[in-house]
């Protein structure tokens, strides 16, 4: 395999001689420890929610340059305190060049950085790491918007004036970042330093390599055909082309079977079934489309499965239409 096409295969555990003991390179695991040094890829897409993508089988390019971070501490709520080093480049044979490069910027908090999807991977572990000694833990500080400063495990009360002074001195606020946030921040720092990454070009060239988002609603969508399901943050939609189903039933009951008639049917079904939180449904029907939304995925999902069962039972559906036509 030539150097240009060489890739990082599923990493195997490899022990590298080191004066502090055995160091492990290429460890891909969610079991991480303080002191672990991990690679931060700089050529993965940052416009997706990376926690829904599976990079566990992605072949990282050996000839790429990477940034590197170190896990300082796993804090409450699966939030990790990390530091990012100034060294960027290929994965070295030992961590000295990384550690001796110093920090790129002040330590940051990251949410769930070492999930099973393998976006960030540990490359060196150090069982002798001491965060107080090796990462100057007692001087790591964060400001809080409620009049506190966190410093080396201590929470200190500060005045508004002190907060302003500390902020001007460069003390950051406590913010939880995502992995993609951190990758973007690193690229911005490198851009300011004049490092040309050609990020957009390389990501575009590799787009066929990247994992595709997993459709978490695939099974539901298959269950409710010919109804359609769409998910957006905080908004879920169930829809159907009017006229696609039970046209004869509507005609026998002097109804057009358009989107507005479907809305009447759905509303009556909700009323009859006493479906929990019926007020959480919102209709947005047109003449040719039945459409309803809800901020609750669970509630709309339960309705979709139940309503579809009724609709596909022609006899039960027509009985509901009869009751609807008799309703004052």
Vertex 274, ends 272 and 275: CA angle to 5°?
A: 115
Strands 121-124, 228-232: pairing kind? unpaired
Rounded distance, CA 22 to CA 211, Å?
Answer: 34
Amino acid 217: pLDDT: 86
Rounded distance, CA 41 to CA 65, Å?
Answer: 8
Which helix (H) or strand (E) element contains residue 162? helix 160-168
Rounded distance, CA 261 to CA 64, Å?
Answer: 59
Phi-psi region of 254 (alpha: psi -120 to 50; beta: other; left: phi over 0): left
Among 12-21, 188-197, 244-253, which range has the highest average pLDDT?
Answer: 188-197
- Binned at pLDDT 50, 70 and 90, residue 172 comes out as confident
Q: pLDDT: is 146 or 8 the higher one?
A: 146
Q: How many CA atoms lie within 13 A of 234 on its CB side?
A: 0
Rounded distance, CA 288 to CA 310, Å?
Answer: 21
**83-106 pLDDT per residue, tens:** 999 999 998 988 999 999 999 999
b/e per residue 51-69 (b: at least 16 CB within 10 A): eebbbeebebbbebbbbbb
Q: pLDDT: is 12 or 48 the higher one?
A: 48
* Environment class of 10 (CB within 10 Å of its CB; exposed 0-12, middle 13-18, buried 19+): exposed
Rounded distance, CA 58 to CA 171, Å?
Answer: 37
Return all residues near 136 (Cβ < 8 A) that are at least 6 apart. none
Rounded distance, CA 170 to CA 107, Å?
Answer: 12
Amino acid 158: pLDDT: 87
Phi-psi region of 128 (alpha: psi -120 to 50; beta: other; left: phi over 0): alpha
Q: pLDDT: is 43 or 24 the higher one?
A: 43
Amino acid 145: pLDDT: 74
8-state DSSP, 286 = B
Strands 79-89, 66-75: pairing kind? antiparallel
Q: Give the full edge-to-edge strand order of the sheet including 141-144.
A: 141-144, 148-151, 154-157
**123-139 pLDDT per residue, tens:** 899 889 999 999 999 99
Stretch 259-264: mean pLDDT: 92
Stretch 132-159: mean pLDDT: 88
Q: pLDDT: is 76 or 201 the higher one?
A: 201
Amino acid 77: pLDDT: 62
Q: pLDDT: is 114 or 80 the higher one?
A: 80
Mean of pLDDT over the chain: 84
Rounded distance, CA 306 to CA 292, Å?
Answer: 14
Amino acid 279: pLDDT: 63
Return all residues near 269 (Cβ < 8 A) that are at least 6 apart. 275, 307, 310, 320
Stretch 39-49: mean pLDDT: 84
63 and 7 in contact (C-beta within 8 Å)? no
- Binned at pLDDT 50, 70 and 90, residue 227 comes out as very high
> Which pair of structure tokens corresponds to residue 201?
């070009």
User: What distance, in Å, lies between the first and last C-alpha atoms of the chain?
Assistant: 78
Rounded distance, CA 126 to CA 237, Å?
Answer: 50
3-state secondary structure string across 168-235: HCCCCECCEECHHHHHHHHHHHHHHCCCCCCHHHHHHHCCCCCCCCCCCCHHHHHHCCCCEEEEECCE
């Amino acid at each position: 395999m030539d150097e240009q096409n060489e890739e990082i295969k599923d990493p195997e555990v490899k022990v590298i001689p080191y004066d502090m003991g055995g160091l492990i390179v290429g460890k891909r695991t969610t079991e991480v420890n303080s002191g672990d040094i991990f690679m931060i890829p700089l050529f993965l897409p940052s416009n997706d929610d990376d926690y829904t993508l599976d990079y566990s089988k992605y072949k990282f390019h050996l000839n790429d340059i990477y940034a590197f971070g170190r896990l300082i501490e796993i804090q409450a709520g699966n939030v990790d305190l990390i530091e990012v080093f100034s060294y960027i480049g290929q994965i070295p044979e030992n961590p000295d060049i990384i550690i001796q490069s110093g920090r790129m910027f002040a330590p940051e908090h990251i949410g769930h950085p070492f999930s099973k999807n393998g976006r960030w991977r540990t490359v060196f572990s150090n069982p002798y790491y001491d965060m107080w000694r090796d990462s100057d833990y007692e001087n790591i500080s964060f400001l809080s918007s409620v009049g506190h400063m966190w410093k080396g495990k201590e929470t200190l009360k500060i005045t508004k004036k002190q907060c302003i002074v500390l902020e001007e001195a460069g003390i950051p606020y406590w913010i939880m970042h995502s992995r993609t946030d951190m990758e973007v921040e690193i690229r911005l720092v490198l851009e300011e330093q004049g490092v040309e990454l050609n990020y957009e070009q390389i990501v575009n060239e590799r787009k066929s390599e990247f994992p595709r988002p997993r459709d978490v609603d695939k099974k539901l969508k298959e269950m409710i055909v010919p109804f359609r399901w769409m998910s957006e943050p905080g908004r879920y939609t169930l829809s159907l082309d009017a006229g696609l189903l039970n046209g004869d039933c509507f005609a026998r009951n002097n109804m057009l079977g358009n989107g507005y008639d479907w809305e009447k049917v759905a509303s009556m079904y909700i009323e009859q079934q006493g479906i929990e939180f019926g007020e959480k449904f919102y209709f947005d029907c047109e003449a040719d489309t039945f459409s309803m939304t809800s901020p609750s995925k669970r509630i709309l999902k339960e309705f979709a499965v139940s309503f579809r069962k009724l609709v596909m039972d022609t006899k039960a559906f027509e009985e509901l239409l009869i009751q609807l036509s008799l309703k004052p």
